A and B are shown apart, each in its own frame.
Chain A
Amino acid sequence: MTISLLRTTLMLGTVGLLAACSGSGSEAPKATEAATAAAPATIDITGAGASFVFPIMSKWSGEYATATGNRINYQSIGSGGGIAQAKAGTVDFGSTDAPLNSEDLKASNLGQFPSVVGGVVPVVNIEGVASNQLRLTGALLADIYLGKITTWNDPAIVAVNPGVVLPELGIKAVYRSDGSGTTFNFVNYLSQVSPAWVEGVGRAATAVKWPLGVGGKGNEGVAAYTKQLKGSIGYVELSYALQNNLTTVSLQNAAGNWIEPSIASFQAAAASADWANAQDFYLVITNAPGADAWPIAATNFILVSKNPNDPAKAKAALAFFKWAYANGGSRAQELGYVPLPEPLVQQVEAYWAQNFAY
């Protein structure tokens, strides 16, 4: 009696499942038929590189997929990784915050153009200090990362922060453990404002020998460590600071003014950049001269091969960026990036016509 009941239940269940599957199955082919009849084949494009622009890349790729159906798969592996993969041809476009110079580009047969401007922002984890309340000069920042200043209530820091209560808390420096364009721009700025930095650590690169501190993987890793460790200081792109509610720091720029990190200050830094004379757009915009300029603004560059394995995909990648220049500006601003100004966009499109023959 029980066995036959079990058998009947199993049979009914299987029949029911099959009916449900075939029901939904018969709907799906009809839908795809309609879709394939209406739309052309969608292209999947892969990009990899700077974690600096990962937030805006994922936003843009989502909207681009809704608008055109082409999908962009962006892997945040760091600028060093982006350069390596673009040179190796394993991705359709690479992304880096550390621009390659013209010889390097020619040797690897790559073209380079800017995508968006952002800013590297120091973030701290000190109880009782609010965002942008703490002020640091470039030289102080360099001394912190060199290990010359070890506690937050050091006289040098207190001197530029009247009215801020700084605890006797040890400073823990957090840096990027992977090859990073964010590091490149940060270290580039430090070497411009601190001779001690140049002596102690050396020239700017995507990976340097940090005298002390803790290394996190990606902007995400630095944000995580800074959030976990009390008294820590790190450097991340502004959107990571905003999305993770990290305490940002005001810096003194080349003009001597105290600037808070914001789209306006990044824009001021980008405005003073001389793009017209930069061959292959090789230009680092740190320590910009403007009165309201954020000192550590950074441009993200896209690398596309001039002789790709799959020209259709490379062309689709360029189409994506054309769409982003035209339609992605408001999204970029929401996330704390500065879209490229119109004259620069035209310069980029002329560069495409000249260099990418597909």
Chain B
Amino acid sequence: MAAAATQLDHLARGDARADRLFRWSVAAAGFFVLISLVGAALTMAWGGREAFATFGWAFVASDNWDPGNLIFGGLAPIVGTLITAGIALLLAVPISFGIALFLTEVAPGWLRGPVGTAIELLAGIPSIIYGMWGLFVLVPFLGEYIYPFLSETASQLPIIGSWFNGPPIGIGMLTAGMVLSIMVIPFIASVMREVFLTVPSRLKESAYALGSTTFEVVWDIVLPYTRSAVIGGIFLGLGRALGETMAVTFVLGNANRLANLLEPSSSIAATIANEFGEAFADLHRSSLLALGFVLFAVTFVVLSIAKLMLMGLQRREGT
């Protein structure tokens, strides 16, 4: 009896040790994420302190990026990043909704597998291939057929007309936004599809039984149920769009100027990729790191807004 008791004790102690080890390892992994995040932010902020000290607010407010004379105002890349990411989301979110809803509600069973796999494959294509495709296929097509038409007709519209005033080169923010949206669709669509599948069928069937159309079921049952996860998926896509480098460099034109939709512009990631290799002036390198910090800050702000919005919605609903 006593021998059995000590043997059980042994096992229990061994288990407790193993359990503690497991907890520590998992906690370490979690802390690793926090440490890398803080470390990355601090490195960029520290590296960019010279630029912030020299230029102050003019660094984010002025669009005069002149490496020859060592004057760096980062407004053009910042605005370019925000606008291309905005266009990408504007195009990608409705399409991803459509894809996810098609795969969960509308598609026949034999079609769901292939289309789902096709979406996953799109996510696996390297971004530089998207850039090359954009430059060799999309740019000539848009420059010859779509943009001349746009710059003549859309530029006549009352408020947003001036956005379309540029010479129809084919390379520009709108093209970059389109390429980015294609890159971002797989991420958003997969998240949405996973989440739409978790909606309990009882809810949907009750709605159908009461006479709702498919659209009403989706709008009133599925979307509110999955709201926070959907927004999470959208911000996953936004994160990719904000940081995308190679695809954007090919089709955005690397022109460090504020521009409208049809004109070439620049983005933070593209500017850093283009200039970091030869930024041997300390102020130049510091400015590029400072741009990286600004991108980090922008992503953080956008995510916080999303979280606050979600919390507000949940409070209103009482969940």
Contact = CB atoms under 8 A, between A and B. Distances in A.
Same assembly: yes
Interface residues of A, number: 34
A215 B68 CA distance: 16
Interface string B248-284: 0100011111000000100000000011011110000
B278 A77 contact: yes
Nearest to B280: A84
Contact of A179 (B66, B144, B255, B278): B278
A333 B108 CA distance: 65
Interface stretch (B51-59, B99-107, B164-172): B164-172
A344 B130 CA distance: 47
B20 to A, nearest CB: 45
B139 interface: yes
B255 A217 contact: no
Interface in A192-232: 202-203, 205-210, 212-217, 224-225, 228-230
Contacts, number: 90
Given A78-B278, A177-B254, A205 B68 contact: yes
A84 B77 CA distance: 24
Contacts of B277: 77-78, 80-81, 84, 178-179
B64 A217 contact: no
A214 B171 contact: yes
Contact of A87 (B64, B169, B257, B280): B280
Contacts of A82: 278
B143 interface: yes
A339 B66 CA distance: 35
B67 interface: yes
Contact of A81 (B64, B257, B264, B278): B278
Interface residues of B, number: 29
B69 interface: yes
Main secondary structure of the interface of B (DSSP, over half): loop
Contacts of A77: 277-278
B256 A178 contact: no
B143 A229 contact: yes
B139 A228 contact: yes
Nearest to A229: B169
Nearest to B249: A217
- Residue of A81, A208, A212, A215 most packed against chain B (CB within 10 A): A215
Contacts of A217: 249, 254, 274
Contacts of B64: 209
A217 B274 CA distance: 7
A232 to B, nearest CB: 8
B215 interface: no
B140 interface: yes
Contacts of B279: 80, 84, 179
A81 B68 CA distance: 15
Given A179-B275, A203-B68, A208-B66, 8 more contacts: A78-B278, A178-B278, A179-B278, A202-B69, A207-B67, A217-B274, A224-B135, A229-B143
27 contacts: A78-B277, A82-B278, A84-B277, A172-B167, A172-B169, A178-B278, A179-B275, A179-B277, A179-B278, A179-B279, A202-B68, A205-B68, A206-B68, A207-B68, A208-B66, A209-B66, A209-B68, A210-B255, A213-B264, A214-B171, A214-B253, A214-B255, A217-B249, A228-B136, A228-B140, A229-B169, A229-B170
Closest 4 CB pairs of A and B: A80-B278, A215-B254, A177-B254, A205-B68
